Amino acid sequence: MQETTTVQLTVLGDFRSGEYTDWVRHRANILDLTGWINTRDNNFVEIEICGNPILVEAFELACSIGPYSVTVRDIQVRTVSNGPYSCSAFEVR
């Protein structure tokens, strides 16, 4: 099994358009990452992502910028685990 990292992202910003969720799911699929996204309200999104550590880092950077129609104000990252970990598909909660 390949080396993986799992991180949780807390993203604050303006997510009223709903575009951020689809954008995040698309980026996760492009990078072959798994996990989930949960939009708590129009200003708060939680993401858990799992995969290759280099690709997870690239995903974090992409999420801090976001799509054109979204304003990301802050992103907090917390490592959940490093090492062999079995990940499933990416889902919207």
Q: What is the pTM of this model?
A: 0.89
* DSSP 8-class letter at 82: E
Judge whether 34 lies within some domain: yes
CATH code, domain carrying 20 = 3.30.70.100
Which tops the pLDDT comparison, 26 or 85? Answer: 26
Quick: pLDDT tens for 36-91. 999 888 899 999 999 999 999 999 999 999 998 899 999 999 998 865 555 678 98
Judge whether 17 lies within some domain: yes
Burial 43-74 (b: 16+ CB within 10 A, else e): eebebbbbbbeebbeebbebbeebeeebebee
- pLDDT (0 to 100) of residue 42: 86
Q: How many domains does the chain have?
A: 1
Judge whether 25 lies within some domain: yes
Judge whether 87 lies within some domain: no
Residue 64's domain comprises 4-82
- Report the relative pairing of strands 90-92 and 34-41 from DSSP bridges: parallel
Judge whether 92 lies within some domain: no
Judge whether 91 lies within some domain: no
